[in-house]
Structure 1
Amino acid sequence: MVLSLDRWVGKVAIVTGASSGIGAAIAEQLVEQGIKVAAFARRQGRLEELATKLSDKKGKLYPVKVDMTKEEDILNGFEWVKENLGPVHILVNNAGTGEYGNLTDGDTETWQNVFQLNVIGLCIATREAIKDMKANNVDGHIIHINSTAGHQTFVGLNVYPASKFAVTALAETLRLELNSLKLKIKITSLSPGLVNTEILSEEFKQSERFKKIIEGKQILDPVDIADGVIYVLSTPPHVQVNENVYISYLL
């Protein structure tokens, strides 16, 4: 099997939640590979800083201010890409959030916010990307940044595991739909374990448990997940990676 990103060079990728962490790492690697990246996030300043950092790379990053919890923002973002960059070839659904706590005393608004971003926002972006790919006869690739919490539950993560179990089901359902429609659009679910990003609360980062995790190198870096995205995109058109799980080798 020959691994190559040549067929994506000069094409358009959308990366959601691209202002920091995993999303920023993915966007950076795609730009380095010569891909035009529409970076969706709420923090425009962060996106512009990243665009400046990558200004001398083979591809280019385009900051697009999008709140992934708002359908109108998502639709406007896709419309901007259509008008300014061209057909979408790659969508990386990275934007996500998690709230700590227990279900027994959870907050309704918190639950709604998690599902709105992790599930509904992802579904809207996926729908719009596939609509664009079909209209332009693009054999594209959809990548959901999932979580090991999408395969097993953990106490104290509130509804986060439930939202990620939904992502697991959505990826598999979409794969079956695409197959039934005879579309050559790939769908991959990448499920990282613990990653050192802003999704981790400051309280947790100050804890003795986190310090031991860092000292023992029992945590992933965002670039590790970006490497996984590059790998699945580099596979030949006839090869589809349905699911990849990434954890520290010490865990």
Structure 2
Amino acid sequence: MERWIGKVAVVTGASAGIGAAIARSLVKQGMIVAGFARRVKRIKEIADNLEDSPGKLYPVECDVTKEDSIIAAFARVKDDLGPLSVLVNSAGITKESSLIDGTLEEWQSVFNVNVLGLCLCTREAVRTMRETTAEDAVVIHVNSLAAERIPFVPGFSVYPGSKRAVTGLAQTLRHELAGTHIRVTNISPGLVATDFMTSYSIFSSEAMAAMPTLNPDDVAAAAIYVLSNPPHVLIQDIVLRPLGESW
């Protein structure tokens, strides 16, 4: 990881859960991290706890459902922090809904963040990466095991479909970036113990405590593994499952 010291990374959804864990890990490895989120106050709190780390976390307000907000956030990173080397698309949401009784608004809200927001952030990041002469750059999509293996979760609705889209987008992006120095990786965890899942009525804190789960730092460790490989090694996909998870 030494070659990443002082390099700039953007982590979306950095205010909580997996995004926050990845942002913390990158800062501890000496990277300069722009944490994108709507709730920048929470990122500032995380940054305050990282003051003794070799890197630094900068809060950047960004709503990934709004193109203007994304463009402005990436412009700020370029102007204030320098060339971008790493993008981690961790922002994601879910809505407890259904395919037979759900609303268009509920479905669109999930795709706007999980798919279109990811596309917009990736577009802006890649434009910056291609302008630099850096020999190495990485895009990491935080995907989900639900993109491949869909458990019976009442209210899952369009969420697995949105994550399946991310799988396809990653492969298409690799095709488009053929011949460049930019690598693209999917990290797909199973059930992770975050507030994200407790938004479902069946996943109370008590229920989650009784189930096999990963924690956000497990996913962050996978991101560090991706970056620790040399530039000629592409880690295409990483699947993480908690021991004992059966679906």
Common topology (TM > 0.5): yes
Shift of 1:203: 2.6
Shift of 1:213: 4.6
Distance 1:63 1:152, change over 3 A: same
* Partner AA of 1:233 in structure 2: L
Alignment of 1:52-201 (within 5 A): 52-138=48-134, 139-155=136-152, 156=154, 157-179=156-178, 182-200=179-197, 201=199
Secondary structure, counterpart of 2:209 in structure 1: helix
- Between the aligned partners of 2:190 and 2:148, the Cα distance in structure 1 is 11
Q: Which residue of 1 aligns with 2:201?
A: 203
* Partner AA of 1:187 in structure 2: V
Distance 1:202 1:177, change over 3 A: closer
* Partner AA of 2:93 in structure 1: T
Secondary structure, counterpart of 1:190 in structure 2: strand
- Structure 1 portions without partners, runs of 5+: none
- Between the aligned partners of 2:95 and 2:148, the Cα distance in structure 1 is 18
Q: Which residue of 2 aligns with 1:222?
A: 216
Shift of 1:212: 5.1
Secondary structure, counterpart of 2:231 in structure 1: coil
Shift of 1:52: 0.5
Instruction: Give the total of aligned pairs.
Output: 241
- Between the aligned partners of 2:121 and 2:208, the Cα distance in structure 1 is 34
Q: Structure 1 vs Structure 2: percent identity of aligned residues?
A: 49
Consecutive aligned runs of 4 or more in structure 1 exceeding 6 Å deviation: none
- Between the aligned partners of 2:123 and 2:200, the Cα distance in structure 1 is 34
Over aligned residue pairs, what C-alpha RMSD do you find?
A: 1.2
8 Å Cα contact 1:154/1:161 also seen in 2: no
Render the CA deviation track for 1:68-123: whole Å, top value 9, x for unaligned: 11111110000000110001000000000011232000111011110000000100
The partner residue of 2:230 within 210, 226, 236 is 236
- Between the aligned partners of 1:128 and 1:171, the Cα distance in structure 2 is 15
Distance 1:202 1:148, change over 3 A: closer
- Between the aligned partners of 2:56 and 2:244, the Cα distance in structure 1 is 36
Shift of 1:202: 5.9
- Structure 2 portions without partners, runs of 5+: none
8 Å Cα contact 1:192/1:225 also seen in 2: yes
